[in-house]
Amino acid sequence: MNSLALATEFEEELIRMRRYFHAHPEVSWEEWNTQKKIIEILEQEGIRTLTPYKTAVIAFVSGTKATDNGDKKKKILGIRADIDALPLQEKNSCSYISKNDGVMHACGHDAHTAILLATAILANRHKEEFSLDFHFVFQPAEEFIADSGAGYLKDLPAVKECDRMIGLHVFTAFAPGIASLPVGPVMASADTFSVEIRGKGTHAAHPEHGIDPISVGVSFCQALERVKARELSSVRPSVISVTAFEAPSNFNIIPESALLKGTCRASDPAQREEYPHILERLAEGIALETRAEIKVSYFPGPPVTINDEEAVLTGQKALKHVFPKDKIQTLPFITGGEDFAKYENPKAFLVLGVGKEEEALRSPQHSPYFQIEESVLKYGVAYFLEYANCYQAE
């Protein structure tokens, strides 16, 4: 079968589906209309579906191609897409702009959903070409770091029985049609933390009568900068970012408390394990120095996304049948997080460039101006189909 030709023939419908989901985004764990639409499209094609947990959908296609494997169990290939959007007001002016106020598909999950739907439809229409079974996993709540969807779906029987789990993520930072599928770490762990600082409020004219939590918070931020510069590896990507500093007060009042929020990212699971200890150590030292009370709370999110070698080697064979040679590259490690990492099956996660050809026109993920090069979407569909073709031949 010519996977790219099939995907190209289906391109108009693929883009239409993507634009529907872009115009009707829903945030994590509230993807009810998205779920309904996914089921509607699949059932029109006679594809069996299951709603195993909240807004999730799993669809099933069974290949009918005969094999000479005797009594060997049919392979089961899981393919996953995330379906949730972000709490963000879209500022684009396209005809399919978000109709839901304050919600936007600004990370490409609308594209992921459409690509997986197209793959399911084409696999079903050409099931005689496949000797394996497909489990198509439409996963909610990838963006909800503290309680994401993969943490629940990974333990479902229909997921656990998959011999492989594959997926992809579109990125506007990379040129259109670039494909990267390395062995090993590909995306970072994504944990969050808060630092509650309790000082002693006082009149701003007499700071000596209080304990200034703002000054304490600044010291904590400066200490983190030293850690990043002198303790974290200079060759393995890692990030500690303070993303919020809250200390509501007035012009003449030193407040009683302050709150820091942030995120820790790592490419190395061992480094990830060190982060909570680093934050606690800093808190203890600064509390002793400043007399403030400091409480650190650490919230584990998705672990490091690590591509398994055997699963990747199949994918790399598939890439050669779909992408031009110059488009297959090894891209830099991505410090964004991805809860695909929570799936315990042998897995391979493709990074797919969907940025505009002219770099100046590219908008980053999570931007209110986020847009993708839609002509690339068919390559995602073709890759999934070709992966199945290569996997069943092994």
Closest CA to 26 of 37, 15, 16: 37
Q: Residue 351: what pLDDT?
A: 98
Taking only the tens of pLDDT, the chain with its 394 residues reads 899 999 999 999 999 999 999 999 999 999 999 999 999 999 999 999 999 999 999 999 999 998 777 667 899 999 999 999 999 999 999 999 999 999 999 999 999 999 999 999 999 999 999 999 999 999 999 999 889 999 999 999 999 999 999 999 999 999 999 999 999 999 999 999 999 999 999 999 999 999 999 999 999 999 999 999 999 999 999 999 999 999 999 999 999 999 999 999 999 999 999 999 999 999 999 999 999 999 999 999 999 999 999 999 999 999 999 999 999 999 999 999 999 999 999 999 999 999 999 999 999 999 999 999 999 999 999 999 999 999 999 9
Closest CA to 78 of 382, 316, 384, 393: 384
Q: What are phi and psi for residue 169, nearest 5 degrees?
A: -140, 130
User: What CA–CA distance (Å, rounded) separates 352 from 354?
Assistant: 6
CB 112 within 8 A of CB 170: yes
Q: Residue 164: what pLDDT?
A: 98
Q: Residue 71: what pLDDT?
A: 65
User: What CA–CA distance (Å, rounded) separates 211 from 293?
Assistant: 10
Longest Cα pair distance anywhere in the chain, in angstroms? Answer: 86
Closest CA to 310 of 381, 390, 383, 389: 390
Using a 10 angstrom Cβ sphere, with 0-12 exposed, 13-18 middle and 19 or more buried, the burial of residue 358 is exposed
Residue 73 neighbours by CB distance under 10 Å = 9
Q: Residue 70: what pLDDT?
A: 66
First-residue to last-residue Cα distance in the chain:
16
Torsion angle of alpha carbons 267, 154, 163, 35, nearest 10°?
-110
Domains observed in the chain: 3-183+308-393 (3.40.630.10), 188-299 (3.30.70.360)
SS (H, E, C) the chain: CCHHHHHHHCHHHHHHHHHHHHHCCCECCCCHHHHHHHHHHHHHCCCEEECCCCCCEEEEEECCCCCCCCCCCCCEEEEEEECCEECCCCCCCCCCCCCCCCCECCCCHHHHHHHHHHHHHHHHHCHHHCCCEEEEEEECCCCCHHHCCHHHHCCCHHHHCCCEEEEEEEECCCCCCCEECCCEEEEEEEEEEEEEEECECEECCCHHHCECHHHHHHHHHHHHHHHHHHCCCCCCCEEEEEEEEECCCECCEECCEEEEEEEEEECCHHHHHHHHHHHHHHHHHHHHHHCCEEEEEEECCCCCEEECHHHHHHHHHHHHHHCCHHHECCCCCEEEECHHHHCCCCEEEEEEECCCCCHHHCCCCCCCCCCCCHHHHHHHHHHHHHHHHHHHHC
Q: Residue 130: what pLDDT?
A: 97
Token code pair at residue 76: 């089961």
> Using N-to-C axis directions, what is the helix angle for 377-393 and 309-322, rounded to 10°?
120
Q: How many residues does the chain have?
A: 394
Token code pair at residue 200: 């002693």
CB 349 within 8 A of CB 157: no
User: What CA–CA distance (Å, rounded) separates 197 from 75?
Assistant: 54
Q: Residue 204: what pLDDT?
A: 97
The amino acid sitting at 71 is: D
Q: What does R_g of the chain's alpha carbons equal in angstroms?
A: 24
Closest CA to 15 of 308, 287, 393, 380: 380
The amino acid sitting at 366 is: H
Q: Residue 146: what pLDDT?
A: 84
